[in-house]
Amino acid sequence: MKLHFIAARGGVGIMLLIFWGLVDNPLFAVHFLLILIGLSAVRYRIKPYRFLPLLEAAASGVYAILWPPALLGLWLPMISIFENKWNKREAKTLEQNHTERSKRYMLEAQIDQSTKDSINAARLAEMTERARIAQDIHDHVGHEMHGALIALQTAIKLHENKDPRTKELMAKSLTRMESASATLRETVHNLRPAYTIGPDTLEQICKDFTYCPVEFSKSGDLADVVHWEMIAANLKELLTNIAKHSNATAAAVKVDGNAKYVRMTVKDNGQTKKSPTPGLGLSGMKDRIRMAGGTLSVSDGDGFMVVFVLPKA
């Protein structure tokens, strides 16, 4: 854009030269042109100076007394004013872009750190659980199986000698093996999660909501979603907000997904009892969704609606 302003100044200079050659050609007009060229050189070659437009206007006014075409030089201060405003606007835009870029970098770093912390926490929990399971198997199953093995070896020797205690030892071994088997089954059972969160869990949350009827629907590809826990927590928070802050008589919850994203829409037909400015619950929800790489939007045009999108992976 700087070249456009330089071209505009050059155009003013060319017009002055045309008038100098066609109308009359006094020598002091050459001095006037040299002054304008010098001021422009100061502006573009040395350092911008805020009083240069005043100097250009003063020179044009003084020389216009003796040479009227010098009034064309008044275009130069006007060009300077537009140029100064443009430069300020451009500098402000660059500063805003730099600030937004810095915030984006910080957010990406926070997301990266959060992901690393989550992975480390998951690994630590996995190692702790493995150690606990190994200890349980060693203390209970291993001990019972070892005891039963010794009892069976002893029973075989007693059986060879036709000792009547063989039957008693066999019964004790069987009891110990049954105990070890039961402990092993219980340990394996405890490895399974109590329940799996998914669309059915969300539907049950809607059914359990008693403030007003909630219509639940699902569509699209909802497989391989890793954020069901967060989605369920957000749904509970939003339904609680409906009960606390609105006079709704009906609500609708819709979950749909595609190959990469899952989206939830929660809408009611009521009006908020206070300003819909996000409170701590909604702000915290928005932060959690952003940290997971998603987005959240709120609308209060026709009832109150919250839509958030999360990546499936």
Q: Which segment of 9-13, 178-182, 211-215, 258-262 scores lowest on mean pLDDT?
A: 9-13
Task: Return the top range by mean pLDDT from 16-30, 130-144, 181-195.
Answer: 130-144
pLDDT tens digit sequence for 24-36: 667 667 767 777 7
Quote the tokens at residue 145: 């199986």
Q: Which segment of 109-118, 194-203, 269-278 scores lowest on mean pLDDT?
A: 269-278
Task: Return the top range by mean pLDDT from 72-76, 179-183, 215-219.
Answer: 215-219
Q: Above 90 in pLDDT, residue 161?
A: no
Residue 84 pLDDT? 75
Residue 257 pLDDT? 92
Strand order through the sheet with 214-220: 214-220, 251-257, 261-268, 304-311, 295-299
d(CA 85, CA 80): 9
pLDDT tens digit sequence for 265-280: 999 998 765 544 555 5
14: how many CB neighbours lie within 10 A of its CB?
10
Q: Is 71 in contact with 19 (CB distance < 8 Å)?
A: no
Listed as own residue / partner, the contacts of 275-281 with beta carbons closer than 8 Å and 24 or more positions apart are 276/300, 276/304, 281/237, 281/240, 281/241
**Residue 264, phi then psi, degrees to nearest 5:** -125, 135
Global pTM? 0.42
